Chain A
Amino acid sequence: MANAMEIYQLLPKTNCKKCGKSSCMAFAAALLSREKNLDECTPMLEEKKYSENYTKLKGLVSPAEQASETGMIVHEDRCIGCGNCVVACPVNVAEDPKGAGSGNAPTNERVILKVEDGIVRLSNVEDCRRFGENKRLCSGCIVTCPTKAIEFV
């Protein structure tokens, strides 16, 4: 996934404020957190000289559009379904200590992560520590993934 600076480099850098943000850098950060949509930068849509950069940016930010409400993306081509994230997730452990927390199949529906058909799937995202106003930068599922298939945007 791209960072804010990479996105900024492709924006018009005119700080025209048409998008409602105070600067192009602020718009880049807003794009990354999915607060703003790329099409809200009207000069990029209207002016021909930005069309090449627009296509590049579309490619950069489109993976983030598939992310869950918490910003989590599971790269299905990389996931091997090992279940490391399932057993490491603190919410899974709290909700299902004997099942998911002990390395076994989840025994209830309150878990966030579970493996289906060999690929990890998300459910109950609102319980994720990265969700809501009091969100915390939990990285249990990221650091335990051997193939780096989990990413947050």
Chain B
Amino acid sequence: MERKYHVCTGCALLCDDIELREVENKTIIDSACRKGAAWIKNCQHPLECTVDAKDTTTQDAIEKAAEILKNAKNPLIFGMGNSSLTAQEKAIELAKKTNACIDDTSSFCQGPFVEAILNDKIKSCTLDEVRDKADVIVYWGCDPSNSHPRHLSKYSYFPRGKMRQRGWEEDRTAIAIDVRKSDTAIICEDDFHQIPPKADAEFAHALTDALSGKVPKVTFGMKPKEILELANVLKKAEFGVIFAGLGLVYSIPDISPMEKLLEVLNKKTDFHLMPMVGQYNMRGFNHTLFDQTGYINRVSFEGDDIGHGPQYSVVEVLKGEKVDAALIIGSDPLSSLPGSIAANLKEIPTIVIDPCKTFTSQTANVTLPAAVTGVECKGEAIRMDGVKVTLKQMRKSDKMTDADIVEKIMEAI
């Protein structure tokens, strides 16, 4: 019997082996992790279609949204990490039309690494290559056991791959570098290296030194022997990969220590880096915007030229009150941004497009419910390793897709 597999959009792993079964009028989701199963099953509080907190029709809400964006001189379009590639393209088109600033969560998340990969400054690989070839896997500042539950079992550590037939027991070494003993670090057992907060750059420099034949020194009491031993394991890898988490990104001022480390490693062996992207299509947005403008995020279409820089990031434009309206698609800046900055969002007219109720939607002027891509509608997305994946529809829904909503808003403008 041929099996029909679906793709889970619960996180950026985009697991493509999800099966649905009907048992006594209940849908059973096979092979998805707890996070994915909860995502597929539906949100507990679906978003309603409202204008100024009053229920209304989709048409009225779209017209009101168009009016807000039309009257704004410099709106902000933010989010899109949980939208299909088509919706992202349409959002960029809308940004061009309305002279908007466009940004996504990558500006305070994995942006620096994705940018370096797209500009060929850092060597990266695909998850399938990791499964088939990787023998040394480093989880640096990330805890995939919680953020991407099937990461270890589907791609990185446990599965048997083409060149790693004996799996995790003999063919692979998993190393965790973190500030605390996370669930992933527990699995790595003796290969867990604990470092203090903000010491990632120093540790990366020490590893670079150790690989260059110098005696590594760190100020936080880790013995040179431990660092030399780790460097030795990395050096002997046939195919190594570093999974960089937010813990690493947030603690380094820029990514140069990691670039340097990879450069030294690649002189001796084959080493790659992959950012642990959270939202299922955040990397898709970075790719789409990069193809169109040459930048991955923080872009302003105000005036004739394309503006880019930290001054156009969601944090800076809200902090400086530089925008006069906001369109938030599939994101919740009120809960992910610092309170003092997010509070400025309440001062301007806000439109939220999301499947579920969020903090941001509760204070928004216009809310438009959208279908969950990959569950209630089909689409395309880019996985955390840059591979394009086609998403199938799992169940019927009468909700509009976010791409259609953005299209309708554009037509109304």
Contacts and interface: CB of A to CB of B under 8 A. Distances in A.
Question: Could you say which of B145, B146, B149 has the most chain A C-beta atoms within 10 Å of its C-beta?
Answer: B149
A103 B153 contact: yes
Interface string A93-113: 100010001111111000000
Contacts, number: 103
Interface size for chain B: under 10, 10 to 19, 20 to 34, or 35 or more residues? 35 or more
Given A83-B150, A107-B3, A115-B30, A102 B37 contact: no
B187 A144 contact: yes
B204 interface: no
A123 to B, nearest CB: 12
B35 A87 contact: no
A83 B8 CA distance: 15
A102 B32 contact: no
A147 B29 contact: no
Nearest to B189: A143
A124 to B, nearest CB: 16
B34 interface: yes
Interface stretch (A27-35, A40-48, A74-82): A74-82
B39 to A, nearest CB: 10
A81 B33 contact: yes
B38 interface: yes
B28 A118 contact: no
Contacts of B298: none
Interface string B178-211: 0000011011000000000000000000000000
Given A82-B145, A146-B187, A103 B34 contact: no
A142 to B, nearest CB: 12
A144 B158 contact: yes
Contacts of A79: 34
Interface string B34-70: 1111100000000000000000000000000000000
A84 B35 CA distance: 15
A125 B18 CA distance: 24
B400 interface: no
A107 B3 CA distance: 8
A81 B146 CA distance: 10
Interface in A111-153: 114-119, 144, 146-147
Interface size for chain A: under 10, 10 to 19, 20 to 34, or 35 or more residues? 20 to 34
A86 interface: yes
B364 to A, nearest CB: 31
A117 B183 CA distance: 21
Contacts of A119: 34
B152 interface: yes
A61 interface: no
A83 B149 CA distance: 8
11 contacts: A82-B33, A87-B159, A102-B160, A105-B5, A106-B31, A118-B34, A118-B37, A118-B38, A144-B168, A146-B186, A146-B187
A101 B154 CA distance: 10
A12 B184 CA distance: 44
Contacts of A80: 33-35, 145-146, 149
B407 interface: no
A88 interface: yes
B322 to A, nearest CB: 41
Contacts of A81: 32-37, 149
B153 A114 contact: no
A83 B38 contact: no
Interface in B123-170: 131, 145-146, 149-150, 152-155, 158-161, 167-168
B80 to A, nearest CB: 26
B243 to A, nearest CB: 15
A140 B295 CA distance: 46
B38 A105 contact: no
Contacts of B159: 87, 101-104
A114 B29 CA distance: 11
Nearest to B146: A80
